[in-house]
Structure 1
Amino acid sequence: MNTRTVGSVMTRNVVTARPDTSFKDLVTTLADERVSALPVVDDEGLVVGIVSEGDLLHRLDLPPDSPHGRLLHRRRPAPAGPLGDIAAGLMTRPVVTIGSDATVGSASRLLEKHGVKRLPVVDGGRLVGIVSRRDLLSTYLRADDDIRAEVRADALLSDPDAVGIVVDEGIVTLTGTVGRRSTADIAGRLARAVSGVVDVVNLLDWKYDDSAELRRHYVFDAQVGPTVRWPT
């Protein structure tokens, strides 16, 4: 089954910053490249932080007694002095990263858990790409015909001709009759795992309900006798 990975949807040509990149250069790069964040990498290509538009806003010279100034100060005071003028003092760290072989589902859960909008993708700590919310949503742009073909080829354990498959706006509906109830359940789960599937309506019927068999525990009543050693 072609469960999509982060590596298949991530952006590979990533615009980065260095720890000593100046505040002005950071702002210029964000504007010129039309991105909202820059991974910060060291001389070995290791990700040491990430600096976003939000991080740079903390450096604005707002009156400390203004509502916005008090809010920014509570969230994270901007470093004073030279360190506050370069990426090393402005970036967020440690960085939440993900591997390129992780599934898009795990990336989505990681974004939600940490409340971030993007994840640097690393291999051995070195940057190989970046994946954003938009990248993850791109998996749902697949054509219905493509989804149907993959469900038919990979998700059905029984005779595909016995199962009706309708895909409308990413929603898969399965109809027909299969041999066992467990087969119908598995077909529904496998269809749901196909890339681009929004939801599955499993209307499959079955000829035999094998639920009780699957729950049954087999007990082997065997006794172990004395060890017999053969002469050598």
Structure 2
Amino acid sequence: MRTWQVGDVMTTDVATVDESTPYRKVVDMMTTRHVSALPVVDDFGRVLGVISEADLLHKVELIGQPHERRFFEGRRRHAARVKADANVARDLMTAPAVTAMESTTLVEAAKTMDREGIKRLPVTDDLGRLIGIVSRGDLLKVHLRHDDDIRHDVVTEVLRRILGISDDAVTVTVVGGVVTLAGRLDRRSSAEIAAQLTLQVSGVVDIIDKVEFDFDDVDPVLYSRGLGNPTGIL
């Protein structure tokens, strides 16, 4: 079962700057290209850092305020002051850059963005060279998959190939990315695995699990006492 990766949704036409790019040109490029961040790369295309709008706004934020270093200055205040004084990309960028590989899953990319508090990830190859960029909005593209494509993956990959379940045992319907599984299997474990794997299919928003089972092999003691079996007979 193939899971969507960063390479499936990333933007490959990426605007970049080098370390010596002046502040004003950085602002102009962001405005012209309608982007909120620019990777900073060296002559080999390797990512050195990223300049975001937040990095640039420190110069506006501290207009009219003294930029001299203060005693007991906090780390954030110091970083803001340094960037407010910066005039080239080298001093404006946040480094090292948090990046992703083309093979990074969308789940991993989303977790990285959340953990690092960032909105985009430069995508690099094995040598650290820029090949694309992925944003939070790009990660949502997986939920634009057609329902028929999602159903195909659930039926052919999850039920047939991985679990060996016949088409007449479980029916699959998909509406708006929500998958409904209905039918009957011999064991509870098979039903639960089918539901768990279905949730991992790219584009699945939620699952409605209506699959019943003949034998509870997950908790057979309760099942044998009749708590999971209306008849109490195995």
TM-score band, normalised by shorter chain: 0.7 to 0.9
Amino acid at match of 1:6: V
Greater CA deviation, 156-165 or 15-24? 156-165
Query: Paired residue for 1:105, among 96, 104, 107?
Result: 107
- Check conservation: 1:11, 1:130, Cα contact below 8 A: yes
Deviations 1:83-106 (A, max 9, x none): x11100101112111111110000
Amino acid at match of 1:89: D
1:155 aligns with 2:162: no
Give the percent of matched residue pairs that are identical in Structure 1 and Structure 2: 44
- Check conservation: 1:21, 1:87, Cα contact below 8 A: yes
Trace 1:28-177 onto structure 2 (pairs within 5 A): 28-60=28-60, 62-64=63-65, 73=77, 76-79=80-83, 84-124=86-126, 125-156=128-159, 157=163, 158-177=165-184
Structure 1 position 2, deviation (Å): 2.1
Amino acid at match of 2:45: G
Structure 1 position 80, deviation (Å): 6.8
Amino acid at match of 1:101: S
- Check conservation: 1:10, 1:135, Cα contact below 8 A: yes
1:200 aligns with 2:203: no
| SS of aligned partner of 2:82 | coil
Runs of 4 or more, structure 1, over 3 Å off, are 72-75, 78-81
2:72 corresponds to = none
Amino acid at match of 1:128: I
Amino acid at match of 1:171: V
Q: 1:33 to 1:80 in 2, by over 3 A?
A: closer
Question: Following the alignment from structure 2 to structure 1, what is the Cα–Cα distance between the partners of residues 2 and 198?
Answer: 11
Question: Following the alignment from structure 2 to structure 1, what is the Cα–Cα distance between the partners of residues 11 and 82?
Answer: 30
2:71 corresponds to = none
| SS of aligned partner of 1:130 | strand
Question: Following the alignment from structure 1 to structure 2, what is the Cα–Cα distance between the partners of residues 50 and 127?
Answer: 12
Amino acid at match of 2:148: D
Structure 1 position 55, deviation (Å): 0.8
Structure 1 position 115, deviation (Å): 0.6
Question: Following the alignment from structure 1 to structure 2, what is the Cα–Cα distance between the partners of residues 37 and 27?
Answer: 10
| SS of aligned partner of 1:59 | helix
Question: Following the alignment from structure 1 to structure 2, what is the Cα–Cα distance between the partners of residues 97 and 12?
Answer: 14
| SS of aligned partner of 2:180 | strand
| SS of aligned partner of 1:28 | helix
- Check conservation: 2:178, 2:205, Cα contact below 8 A: yes
Greater CA deviation, 23-32 or 152-161? 152-161
- Check conservation: 1:59, 1:78, Cα contact below 8 A: no
The RMSD of aligned alpha carbons is 2.1
Bigger-Rg structure (1/2) = 1
- Check conservation: 2:58, 2:83, Cα contact below 8 A: no
Question: Following the alignment from structure 1 to structure 2, what is the Cα–Cα distance between the partners of residues 38 and 106?
Answer: 22
Aligned residues: 207
Amino acid at match of 2:190: T
- Check conservation: 2:119, 2:135, Cα contact below 8 A: yes
TM-score under structure 2 length normalisation: 0.82
Q: Tell me, which stretches of 5 or more residues in structure 2 are unaligned?
A: 67-75, 221-234
Structure 1 position 78, deviation (Å): 3.2
